[in-house]
Amino acid sequence: MKKRKIIVDDLMQQGYVYYLTEPLGNHFHPDFKPQLSPKEMLALGVFGGKYMTDCRGEFPPDWFTGAKLCHEFHDPGLNFFGVNASQSLSYWRAKGWIYDEDPRGWFQWYCRYYMGRRCPDDVRQIKRWLAIRRHVGQLQKHCQPGDFSCRRKQRQMLLHWAYDSRHI
């Protein structure tokens, strides 16, 4: 695959450049097996619809067809489970979870990884994704299969991490 240059110019990054070195949605690390694509996540409703409203030019236009977005404010009603399962960006920064090149956090990293970018932060982000799996076990232990009223916040959080909690 020929490297493709991406130049980012949005509210959080101006002039940031990265390269796509892998095909879209392919050649993932063998331990990284997300159940949802970024397009599917946006269509289901994640992050209160606020996450990707100013960076459409960076990603494929079809990701935004049917996406549940709200440019004005974070609206938990747009989330699949209708609850707020997010921490603020300032909280994530204080915890040291934000990689400088992805100032919006894990989902931005995932979108770029899915697009074909590979970067020094990949191993750390994949480890974080793997650690979230413990919540799948908690749902399986405490909820009946398909009971969307059981642990809605935890189910929504799993959607934010590309785990399809609708099937637990």
Residues 6 or more apart whose Cβ sits within 8 Å of residue 28: 34, 113
Q: What are the pLDDT digits (tens) for 39-89?
A: 999 999 999 988 878 988 999 999 999 999 988 888 999 999 999 998 888
Q: Please give the average per-residue pLDDT across 136-145, as a whole number.
A: 93
| pTM for the full predicted model | 0.94
Q: End-to-end distance of the chain based on CA atoms, in angstroms?
A: 37
Q: How much of the chain, in percent, has pLDDT values that exceed 70?
A: 100
In angstroms, rounded to a whole number, what is the distance separating the alpha carbons of residues 23 and 117?
9
pLDDT recorded at residue 80: 95
Statement: residue 164 has pLDDT above 80: yes
Domain extent, residue 88, equals 4-167
Q: Please give the average per-residue pLDDT across 15-32, as a whole number.
A: 97
Residues 6 or more apart whose Cβ sits within 8 Å of residue 71: 50, 53, 54
Q: Locate 14 and state its tokens.
A: 């101006």
> How many structural domains is the chain composed of?
1
Q: How many CB atoms lie within 10 A of CB 41?
A: 27
